[in-house]
Amino acid sequence: MRDPLGVQALRPWLRLLGEHRRRLWGGAGLLALTLGAAIGLLALAGWFITASALTGLAMAAGLAASLDVHLPGGGIRAFAITRTVARYLERLYNHDTVLRLLADLRGRLFAVLSRLDARTLAQQRASDWLTRLIADIDTLDGLYLRLLAPPLVALGLIGLLAAFVALWVPAAGGLLGAGLLLAWLWLTAGQARLGLAASRGRVAQRQRLRSLAVEHLQGLAELEAHGVTGRHRQRLAACEARLQADQRRLARYTALGTSLVGLGVGLAMLATLWLAAAAWQRGEIAGAVMVMLPLAVLALGEALALLPGAFTQLGATRAAAERLNGLAEAGKGAATGGTEPLPGGAPSLTLGGVCLHYPGALQPALEAVSLSLGAGERLAVTGASGAGKSSLAALLSRQLAPDAGTIHFNEVALPAIDEGALRTQVALLGQRVDLFQGSLAENLRIADPGADDASLGRALDWVGLGEWGESLPHGMATPVGEGGRALSGGQARRLALARLWLRDPGLVLLDEPFADLDTATVERLVPRLDTWLAGRTVVYLLHRLDDGPASPPGVTHRAHLVAGQLTHFAPGCTIGQDEG
Amino acid sequence: MAGDGESRRWLAAQAAAQRGWLRLAVLSGLLASLLTIAQLGLLAWILSQLLVEGSALDSLGGAFLAVAGCLALRALAQWGQEMAGQEASERVRRRVRTELLDHLAALGPVRAGAHHPGGVASQLVEQVDALDGYVARFLPHCYLALAGPLTILAVVAWLDWLAAAFLLLAAPLIPLFMALVGAGAERVNREQFAAVTRLSSHFLDRVRGMTTLQLFGRTADATREVYTAADHYRRLSLRPLRLAFLSSAVLEFFASVAIAVVAIYVGFGLLGYIDYGPSPELTLFSGLLVLLLAPEFFQPLRSLAQHYHDRAAAIGAAQGMLALLAEPARPRHQRQGPAPRGDARVELVGVALNHPGRGRVLGPLDIRVAPGETLVITGPSGAGKSSLLQLLAGFVAPDSGVRRALPGLRLAWLDQRPWLVQGSLAENLRLTAPSASDAQLVVALERVGLGEMLAGLPEGLATPLGERGVGLSGGQAQRLAVARLFLSDADLVLLDEPTASLDEASEAKVVAALQALAVDGPSLVIATHHPALMRLATRHRVIEAGHFVAAPAGEASDA
């Protein structure tokens, strides 16, 4: 294996960090200054004490000896102050750097996510994809401060220290450099290799435990009724045991690395002392220097202390990076559209042999669906849930690409249409209404960023929420969405209709437009909707179509979907138009 | 939400149960400290022997070996400290998980089910794991931050009381610094945590609505917004952090100053510039050892600061868990209950149910379920059908009245969301019937009209079903759940809107399967508003606004 640690997966993220290269080097420099000053402080203090002692002994023996105390004294003060100030600046500067990286990382990832198609996005509703996504982003946030700066600084300090020792005792410097380099390699690559399986396993086991816990909670009723709660608890316990086994292995490896730092630095100090003492006895160096060298090595421990903990967990960081890379890959495959314009006004619509098969599904979602609809006509597609209506809506709004078959708007193939033109001309009211954290006005302006307050008010009036909007103490500024005012299902749906009204699309796809609305509201809405839909091509997707006053207005064609197949497509009589 | 104090007390109680392992961790840590002192002492002695006594290097080989021995033993002690802490942490987490799961079971499916499964699962997994750092590292370091410096102080005092006095000057400041460090670290963490949570929730909110953003062509704006929000947070957070980071600078300052002051003092003492106190007695040995011990004096405190965020994380996690544990459990006797009168399988006598905020939702009412009958309950949505079924099952305790159930009554339950797990078809069927044979599984699938589907699967019963049963249509999933009813030899089957989300074809198949099930002998209670299911009834009750009303004409009503 050429890349046993899988560092390749981190590449795109390292490149992202690279955009802040100057800051990264600045932060690493401050870190090196802090740790370097600590080494210098202890080494110089050792030299000073020894020199003082030797001078004192000489003076006591009546020899003429003197020691300049000002220079070392000043040096000691300088190192002490440098260490304190550099630490403070380093914390502040690196924190700022990490936050800058965090903003970049989130921005970059959001751009990646915004290219995902409906199929991938739909996963988020089936699983705890979002929780994992956030966990992965958080993991990568620590890339610089855990995995990049500390090993680089440690390596630099090892080189400097070895060179410094070599200045006095070349053999000791060489040996020290080689020994510490080996230790550094073990503490980074070795620890990473050691913890790879366990740290990846831990992520997987935690994921498994979490889905088992979700299943347990969803099945509480069945489990209690059938009296088998205990059995399912055993499954949970077994999974927890596997998770803890991985956690224990990781803890053991980390503890091993931490202990090795102390042992390795200690032995390096001892070897340096031996060689320095030998050099001193040969008269090559002064006694105070002999003390200074091992003490400098001893102080290096701090620079290595954090490496094992970070690198034993490399597998988890790598797994997070791989998952996010996978998302970026998935985003690349999504349809981004061509350059063909789609002129305003109602388009005609042709589907030829459209097939759609979700991976892992037993049956295709849509099978050989063909139909054509003239400009300004209104088609009602009925079918049970799961029959393929929402898939059809996703295809027509180019959130998904069909596995086979073609879709044309105005004789232009759908994939060739320019993205901006498509989004302007095609509007979809889906089954799910997404409300964002923010004010009522902000939520409406998703549809039209330039809309003024008056037109937002007219949009609310149009869906019959005008009075409600005015009754709110904060009016249009009322926060909605998560953490804001909870809207009822019916209010949310009407808000979504108001968003639709703020636009001027040629093709309108309405997936269960009246779900969650009571009959009286629907009856008020139908004529307004009918007027607004005039001159647009419309596809309704409905559970069932009954010809009452609350049914969608102006249906000209009907189709029925059963298990992904169009069983019936025919022009139907105009129904549900009470008022023209 | 539980208060800070309550969370701390709860955490302390959890840790107290693992006193043994935690003690072992602290003792190992102390042993490591003592070995550090010994190693530094030997180092100072070797240097003094070489420089002052003029010993030959070769004659000191034994001392070098002793230092190496100290290093090895210290590595072992450090390892022991971490592993003992880890063991304590694992035990605490296992216990807390068990406690939470026990409490969820005691709350019952209705109360526990009212929580978002993802939220509770995150408490069970991530939040419980958030206790790890607190138990495994923070707690041992808490004791070591006190014991370590005191030991070193004693050794330094023995060497040179004036140097010890320098350290001692700092000693009363230690609790102060601990508080300072604590407050600082805690503040950094709180700020970071709150802000990152806000950022994450903003990010998640936009990701959740990604489809809408895509459809409105607003993804580019939203991307800019995500970046701006994160950058805005950076600007906001730097000001408080400027102060908070002072705490780490203070520790660095004391560690540096201790070395500097000791070095200058010892150096001048050795030069004979200081005549005061013990200074004239300073030797190279005692001077070097005092110098080497000075940084060790502050080291435990710095370690503690490193692990301070573990404490904040644990307290945060504990608050959430305590809130869940504080929810009152169902009374135990309600779950068992006395036997019903006559031949009834289960009986509710004068039961009423209240909902917080909604007042009375059901009753008081009486109902008995006789053997072999199929009782259909209808009524408008919100009338209390589901509540009635939950009371019959014993999933909730009535606020007044009693539930009497046949001793050893075997229940089966099905609602509109079929419960499926990640695993094979067979595993899903065996969830509630662990001992069923393959042949029995096949028969059960055939009885719900899934025989044809099974025959079309190359892997048969071993076919894996994805998360939440991806791969099956809604109707197939529901029929799979009905197949489980055939495998359980239940006396009483409770069905809450079993066909609510099915199309007509699937509904017909489920109805046929239930009809076959009724023939087998269990009592069925079905809450529904679908005419096809109503036709299965041998008895029909109508519920409105929490009370039984007269059944439609021509149908039998309950006595």
Position A52 confidence tier, pLDDT thresholds 50, 70, 90? very high
Distances (CA, A) of A335 to A117, A398, A400, A416: 8, 8, 8, 10
- Say whether pLDDT at B302 is over 90: no
Tell whether A126 is within 8 A of chain B (Cβ). Answer: yes
Tell me the nearest-neighbour CA distance from B554 into chain A, angstroms.
30
Predicted pLDDT at A95: 87
Maximum mean pLDDT: which of A246-250, A340-344, A379-383, B465-469: A246-250
Predicted confidence (pLDDT) per residue in A121-141, tens digit: 766 555 567 777 888 888 888
| B32 and B159 within one domain | yes
Q: Of the candidates A69, A209, A247, which has its C-beta nearest B125's C-beta?
A: A209
Rounded distance between C-alpha atoms, residue B55 and residue B70, angstroms: 22
User: Which of A99-103, A252-256, A484-488, B337-341 shows the lowest per-residue confidence on average (mean pLDDT)?
Assistant: A484-488
Higher-scoring residue by pLDDT: B539, B194? B539
Position A572 confidence tier, pLDDT thresholds 50, 70, 90? low
| Residues A107, B417: C-beta atoms closer than 8 Å | no
Position A573 confidence tier, pLDDT thresholds 50, 70, 90? very low
Domain-located, residue B8:
no
| Residues B210, A437: C-beta atoms closer than 8 Å | no
Alpha helices in A282-304 (DSSP H): 287-298, 301-304
Predicted pLDDT at B333: 56
Q: Which residues of B touch A264 (CB under 8 A)?
A: none
Residue range of the domain that includes B247: 19-325
In chain A the domains, ranked by start, together with CATH numbers, are 7-332 (1.20.1560.10), 349-577 (3.40.50.300)
Question: Which of B294, B325, B356 lies at the terminal end of a domain, its last residue?
Answer: B325
Position A383 confidence tier, pLDDT thresholds 50, 70, 90? confident
| B221 and B307 within one domain | yes
Please name the residue of chain B whose CA is at the shortest distance from the CA of residue A86. B249
- In a mutational test of the A interface, the residue from B79, B271, B387 whose CB has the highest number of chain A CBs within 10 Å is B271
Domain-located, residue B7:
no
Predicted pLDDT at A123: 64
Percent of chain A at pLDDT above 90? 50
- Say whether pLDDT at A576 is over 50: no
Rounded distance between C-alpha atoms, residue B260 and residue B483, angstroms: 79
| B389 and B275 within one domain | no
Rounded distance between C-alpha atoms, residue A297 and residue A276, angstroms: 12
Rounded distance between C-alpha atoms, residue B84 and residue B165, angstroms: 35
Domain-located, residue B338:
no
Q: Which residues of A touch B113 (CB under 8 A)?
A: 217, 220-221
Maximum mean pLDDT: which of A158-167, A344-353, B292-301: A158-167
Position B146 confidence tier, pLDDT thresholds 50, 70, 90? confident
| B304 and B389 within one domain | no
Starting at the earlier edge strand, list the strands of the sheet with B346-355: B359-369, B346-355, B400-405
| Rg (alpha carbons) of chain B, rounded to whole number | 35
- Say whether pLDDT at A338 is over 60: yes
In this prediction, residues A203-216 reach a mean pLDDT of 88
Position B87 confidence tier, pLDDT thresholds 50, 70, 90? very high
Distances (CA, A) of A247 to A252, A255, B68, B84, B202: 9, 12, 31, 14, 32
- Say whether pLDDT at A32 is over 50: yes
In this prediction, residues A92-112 reach a mean pLDDT of 88
| Residues B51, A290: C-beta atoms closer than 8 Å | yes
Predicted pLDDT at B552: 61
| B528 and B475 within one domain | yes
| Residues A258, B82: C-beta atoms closer than 8 Å | yes
Domain-located, residue B442:
yes
- Say whether pLDDT at A574 is over 50: no
Predicted pLDDT at A60: 86
Tell whether B344 is within 8 A of chain A (Cβ). Answer: no
Summary mean pLDDT of chain B? 86
B502's torsion region: left (phi>0), alpha (psi -120 to 50) or beta? beta
Predicted pLDDT at A554: 87
Domain-located, residue B337:
no
Predicted pLDDT at B336: 56
Q: Which residues of B touch A67 (CB under 8 A)?
A: 271
In this prediction, residues B465-488 reach a mean pLDDT of 76
| B366 and B223 within one domain | no
- Say whether pLDDT at B551 is over 90: no
Q: Of the candidates B121, B201, B473, which has its C-beta nearest A213's C-beta?
A: B121
- Report whether A517 contacts A494 (CB < 8 A): yes
| Residues B419, A222: C-beta atoms closer than 8 Å | yes
Predicted pLDDT at B178: 60
Domains in chain B, number? 2
Q: Could you give the ipTM of this predicted complex? A: 0.88
Phi, then psi, of A475 in degrees rounded to 5: 55, -130
Position B1 confidence tier, pLDDT thresholds 50, 70, 90? very low
Domain-located, residue B13:
no
Residue B539's H or E segment, with its range, is strand B539-544
| B410 and B471 within one domain | yes
Interface of A with B in 468-497 (CB under 8 A): 481-483
| Residues A435, B209: C-beta atoms closer than 8 Å | yes
Tell whether B416 is within 8 A of chain A (Cβ). Answer: no
Predicted confidence (pLDDT) per residue in A426-484, tens digit: 999 987 788 888 888 999 999 999 999 999 999 999 998 888 888 888 888 888 866 55
- Report whether A337 contacts A419 (CB < 8 A): yes
Domain-located, residue B3:
no
| B377 and B261 within one domain | no
Interface of A with B in 19-58 (CB under 8 A): 34, 37-38, 41-42, 44-46, 48-57
Between chain A and chain B, how many beta carbons pairs sit less than 8 Å apart? 412
Tell me the nearest-neighbour CA distance from B227 into chain A, angstroms.
5
* pTM check: above 0.90: no
Tell me the nearest-neighbour CA distance from B174 into chain A, angstroms.
18
Predicted confidence (pLDDT) per residue in A510-566, tens digit: 988 887 787 888 888 899 999 999 999 999 998 878 777 778 888 899 998 887 888
Predicted pLDDT at A577: 36
Q: Which residues of B touch A251 (CB under 8 A)?
A: 82-83, 86, 136
| B350 and B318 within one domain | no
Summary mean pLDDT of chain A? 88
- Say whether pLDDT at B232 is over 70: yes
Rounded distance between C-alpha atoms, residue A336 and residue A118, angstroms: 13
Q: Of the candidates B67, B284, B395, which has its C-beta nearest A221's C-beta?
A: B395
Alpha helices in A432-503 (DSSP H): 440-445, 453-462, 466-471, 489-501
| Residues B205, A281: C-beta atoms closer than 8 Å | no
- Say whether pLDDT at A64 is over 60: yes
In this prediction, residues B186-193 reach a mean pLDDT of 68
Predicted pLDDT at A93: 93
Tell whether A416 is within 8 A of chain B (Cβ). Answer: no
Q: Which is nearest to B165 in space by CA: B276, B29, B272?
A: B276
Position A300 confidence tier, pLDDT thresholds 50, 70, 90? very high
- Say whether pLDDT at A293 is over 90: yes
Q: What token pair was written down for A157?
A: 């300090």
In this prediction, residues B199-211 reach a mean pLDDT of 82
Tell me the nearest-neighbour CA distance from A519 into chain B, angstroms.
16
Residue B216 three-state SS: coil
Domain-located, residue B395:
yes
Position A580 confidence tier, pLDDT thresholds 50, 70, 90? very low
Rounded distance between C-alpha atoms, residue B150 and residue B399, angstroms: 59
| B114 and B61 within one domain | yes
User: Which of A314-323, A356-365, A536-545 shows the lowest per-residue confidence on average (mean pLDDT)?
Assistant: A356-365
Q: What token pair was written down for A538?
A: 């419309």
Q: What is the CATH number of the domain that holds B277?
A: 1.20.1560.10
| B88 and B145 within one domain | yes
Predicted pLDDT at B541: 93
| B276 and B163 within one domain | yes
In this prediction, residues A503-515 reach a mean pLDDT of 90
Predicted confidence (pLDDT) per residue in B312-346, tens digit: 889 888 998 999 999 888 876 555 567 888 888 99
- Say whether pLDDT at A578 is over 50: no
User: Which of A142-146, A235-239, A326-330, B93-97 shows the lowest per-residue confidence on average (mean pLDDT)?
Assistant: A326-330
Question: Which of B292, B325, B358 lies at the terminal end of a domain, its last residue?
Answer: B325
Distances (CA, A) of A251 to A254, B86, B88: 5, 7, 12
| Residues B211, A107: C-beta atoms closer than 8 Å | no
Predicted pLDDT at B202: 82
Position A142 confidence tier, pLDDT thresholds 50, 70, 90? confident
- Say whether pLDDT at A45 is over 90: yes
Q: What is the CATH number of the domain that holds B355?
A: 3.40.50.300
Predicted confidence (pLDDT) per residue in B4-29, tens digit: 788 999 999 999 999 999 999 999 99
